[in-house]
Amino acid sequence: MSVSAYASSPFDHGRADVVLRSSDNVDFRVFRLFLSLSSPFFETLFDLPQPSEEKHGDAETKDGLPVIPVSEDSKTLEAVLRFCYPRTLIEKTISIKHFKDGVKMLEAAKKYSLDGAESAIRKTLFSTNNLEADPLRCFVVARQARMRDETILSAKYCLQTGLIPGWFEEIEMITATDLLDLLAYHEKCGKAAQQLQSSYSWIERHYKNRSAIPWIFGKASGRPCPCPRSDKIKLFGRKHLVWWEEFMEATFQTLKEKPCARTVRESVEKTITDVRSRDCRSCAPNIATVMHQFADLFAKKVEEVVAEVNSFVSSVEKMR
Ligand SMILES: [Zn+2]
């Protein structure tokens, strides 16, 4: 006796010719033809003798249709079956509320060789939102599923978080070697970003002349402003402002832990607020404009040096 329920439309069709039963006991009345055309896995499965055609006493049928149990739960099965049906019957959309559900859908799409479903699930799972919110979880899933591009992309987003991650469920899905690779990459990127602090020649090369950045030297309005100057001479042979030096120091400090463009942007916003509160009539008025321009250069440089850290990419290449 079956206590299972039928899935919702169109997976409850009266003229369907087979029933797929999910692990949580939901029956999907489906058409073999749609599934076979979309998935070589189903094609092979349906080529096997069906329970109703064989005289197994224990083979289950429901309403005269053979019942094939599958290992996916109903939410996962519904998501991948959508991609087997014509667009006129059901939309090929993916909605993933919980990351875990997405992982299960991805596994199912791979198992059934549903390329369209797989790429749609990948896109949803590794959306910018998810990468920003949960880069490490994305990394673990990508690495485990041997997805090269998503692994590298997620590792880059991991640079926005601290070096040592906190515990989360999926962390147990990857090996210590894989995690170590990520940590080593993160650390190398941090060191690469630090190199930009040892010499400001990259700033000089970009601006060519100090008159292009008078605001760093306390001459935003043309005349010297009252803000204190640093004793250190690191840029165009002139003394720069202390607040600018503090901004650079603080940014490089954070870049050690989070070597990414976002660190620069966040640090810039904080400095804009700080400088405005100083109330210098020369520095304050244009601070947002000049700092945002400088942030573009600084962030681009950080991205450049981080992109040169290739050890991780090559270790991902090897994993294939
Ligand atoms: Zn000033």
Residue 151 lies in a domain: no
Q: What is the pLDDT of residues 203-235, one digit of tens each?
A: 999 999 999 999 999 999 888 999 999 998 999
Question: From the CA of 229, how far away is ligand 1's center (Å)?
Answer: 9
Separation CA 251–CA 245 (nearest Å)? 10
Question: From the CA of 5, how far away is ligand 1's center (Å)?
Answer: 73
Residues flanking ion ligand 1, Cβ below 5 Å = 225, 227, 280, 282-283
Question: From the CA of 240, how far away is ligand 1's center (Å)?
Answer: 11
Residue 262 has pLDDT above 70, yes or no: yes
Residue 113 lies in a domain: yes
Residue 23 and residue 120 in one domain: yes
Question: From the CA of 35, how far away is ligand 1's center (Å)?
Answer: 70
Q: Which of 95, 125, 155 is the last residue of a domain?
A: 125
Question: From the CA of 254, how far away is ligand 1's center (Å)?
Answer: 25
The lowest-confidence range among 34-48, 59-73, 305-319 is: 305-319
Question: From the CA of 133, how far away is ligand 1's center (Å)?
Answer: 37
Residue 120 and residue 201 in one domain: no
DSSP type of residue 49 = P
Question: From the CA of 225, how far away is ligand 1's center (Å)?
Answer: 5
User: What's the CATH code of the domain at 28?
Assistant: 3.30.710.10
The pLDDT, as a whole number, for residue 174 is 86
Q: What is the pLDDT of residues 189-209, one digit of tens each?
A: 999 999 999 999 999 999 999
Question: From the CA of 297, how far away is ligand 1's center (Å)?
Answer: 22
Question: From the CA of 273, how far away is ligand 1's center (Å)?
Answer: 14
Q: Which of 90, 125, 160 is the last residue of a domain?
A: 125
Mean pLDDT, residues 48-75 taken together:
77
Question: From the CA of 39, how far away is ligand 1's center (Å)?
Answer: 67
Residue 105 lies in a domain: yes
The pLDDT, as a whole number, for residue 102 is 87
Residue 109 and residue 216 in one domain: no
The pLDDT, as a whole number, for residue 257 is 93
Question: From the CA of 222, how far away is ligand 1's center (Å)?
Answer: 11
Question: From the CA of 148, how far away is ligand 1's center (Å)?
Answer: 49
Question: From the CA of 290, how far away is ligand 1's center (Å)?
Answer: 13
CA distances to 138, 163, 231, 262, 316 from 174, rounded to whole Å, are: 12, 17, 50, 27, 14
In the block, residue with structure tokens 């959309």: 93
Give the model's confidence band at 100: pLDDT under 50 very low, under 70 low, under 90 confident, else very high: confident
Q: Across the chain, what does the average pLDDT equal?
A: 90
The pLDDT, as a whole number, for residue 300 is 97
The pLDDT, as a whole number, for residue 168 is 80
Residue 111 and residue 13 in one domain: yes
One-letter amino acid identity for 307? A
- Give the other-Cβ count within 10 Å of 60's Cβ: 17
What percent of the chain lies above the pLDDT cut of 90? Answer: 68
Question: From the CA of 287, how far away is ligand 1's center (Å)?
Answer: 10
Q: Maximum distance among all alpha carbons in the chain? A: 97
Q: What domain range is 223 assigned to?
A: 197-307
Separation CA 99–CA 88 (nearest Å)? 28
Residue 269 lies in a domain: yes
Q: Which of 125, 146, 173 is the last residue of a domain?
A: 125
Residue 166 lies in a domain: no
Residue 295 lies in a domain: yes
Residue 144 lies in a domain: no
User: The dihedral of CA 157, 163, 169, 173: what is its sign?
Assistant: positive
Residue 297 lies in a domain: yes
Q: What is the pLDDT of residues 149-168, one digit of tens each?
A: 999 999 999 999 987 878 88
Question: From the CA of 260, how far away is ligand 1's center (Å)?
Answer: 28
The pLDDT, as a whole number, for residue 249 is 97
Question: From the CA of 279, how far away is ligand 1's center (Å)?
Answer: 8
Higher-confidence residue: 283 or 310?
283
The pLDDT, as a whole number, for residue 158 is 94
Mean pLDDT, residues 23-37 taken together:
94
Number of domains in the chain: 2
